[in-house]
Amino acid sequence: MEKGTFPIDRFQQMQTPFYYYDIPLLNQTLQTLQDQLRAHPDYHLHYAVKANANPAILRHIQEAGFGADCVSGGEIQAALDAGFSPQSIVFAGVGKADWEIQLALRAQIHSFNVESIPELEVINQLAVEMQQTANVSLRINPDVGAHTHHNITTGRAENKFGIAMDRMKDTIRQALAMSNVRFVGLHFHIGSQILQMDDFVALAQRINELQDRLEQAGIRDIRHINVGGGLGIDYTDPNGHPIPTFGDYFQTYATHLRLRPGQQLHFELGRAVVGQMGTLITRCLYVKPTATRQFAIVDAGMTDLIRPALYDAYHRIENITSSEPEETYDVVGPICESSDVFVRDHRMNRTQRGDLIAIRSAGAYGEIMASRYNLRRLPGSYTSDEI
Ligand code: LLP
């Protein structure tokens, strides 16, 4: 597999580690989404801000005409600052604080994705106080498994997310009886980094069942169905598959989900939009051979990209300044934790101190999950337009 192409001369001058965002690839991805969505005028995409809230990235996504999916007051503010229209913002999360609900009410966002009856009551109460009406979609736990990492499946009955299917009718009736909430839709999300379309088929079928049951109970006119996000990316071959299979993804829903006349379908994609355009650039500090292994110790660690340590996630790693024969390395960071390992037994061009190492497919859940543990500096970030 070929390496990515990067402005290595510029990188040599820069302080590492930093995230590098390939704006032409982001724009091609956004263009592909626009092209695919043109065939489906009732489909609406809200970018999941949690994947990457870098202001430059948010602005490109907003300019492409997409909405925002937010899970905190901070994300709502970042979306507004980037120019997203309040009417394009949906707000999810199991634990919305009062100030976050008030911020969303003041901004008059499109809708709240509500996860419990106590939350519904608080939203209604705060809306009464502010003399507002809150649009709410109810998040339903469809009890559909997804073939992905345990920590990022969300749609099973044991997860904390959503309202159980069999509580649905009662919950909708309660919402309909409240003075200052307007029930507008149903929301679902089954997990993340999903590559098997069958998982989305299963969700679509669950939604069909649920809509049939609700209609039998006299609950009609549900304007919005929101199927969340979750479409995965190819971490092993980012050059071969830089843009996810959006066509198949939307077609899966078009084929299997029975929308009612006038019903609008919403998506909350995060990783698939920004994953491949980001790379973490780091420098090799030391090569340390031991009796059994050879460690390439780099200046990025789990504080800069936590996915390998937290989820055992694989990211493709390349030495972009060496074309020497390959050797086997454990690529590790400098943090005082044994889990601070990016990859083990990795074949990579012979590496020495000062070499630049690219950790690929790091545009989603990379920079945004960085921490200052060990009192490290946060990683830098640059778009290809800037350097
Ligand atoms: N909508 C809801 C309700 C979500 O919980 C999520 C992600 C998304 C949309 C966007 O999902 P995406 O299209 O990006 O798969 N930090 C983990 C991923 C956590 C995902 C959390 N929820 C990782 O690095 O893999």
From its phi and psi, is residue 69 left (phi > 0), alpha (psi between -120 and 50) or beta?
beta
* pLDDT, tens digit, 9 for 90 and up, residues 343-353: 999 999 999 99
- State the pLDDT at residue 152: 56
Q: What is the pTM of this model?
A: 0.96
Q: How confident is the model at residue 7 (pLDDT cuts 50, 70, 90)?
A: very high
Mean pLDDT, range 154-180, rounded to an integer: 85
Gyration radius (Cα) of the chain, Å: 22
- State the pLDDT at residue 156: 61
8 Å CB contact between 116 and 89: no
Atom of ligand 1 nearest to the CA of 275: 14
pLDDT higher than 80, residue 207? yes
pLDDT higher than 80, residue 137? yes
Ligand 1 neighbour 366 (Cβ under 6 A)? no
* pLDDT, tens digit, 9 for 90 and up, residues 115-131: 999 999 999 999 999 99
- State the pLDDT at residue 25: 98
Ligand 1 neighbour 365 (Cβ under 6 A)? yes
Ligand 1 neighbour 230 (Cβ under 6 A)? yes
Q: How many other C-beta atoms lie within 10 A of the C-beta of residue 325? A: 7
- State the pLDDT at residue 154: 61
185 phi/psi in degrees, rounded to 5: -175, 180
Residue owning the nearest CA to atom 20 of ligand 1: 192
Mean pLDDT, range 217-240, rounded to an integer: 97
Task: State in Å: Cα 75 to ligand 1 middle.
Answer: 14
* pLDDT, tens digit, 9 for 90 and up, residues 296-344: 999 999 999 999 999 999 999 999 999 999 999 999 999 999 999 999 9
Q: 4: Cβ–Cβ under 8 A, 6 or more apart, which residues?
A: 238, 239, 279, 318, 320, 358, 360
Residue owning the nearest CA to atom 6 of ligand 1: 229
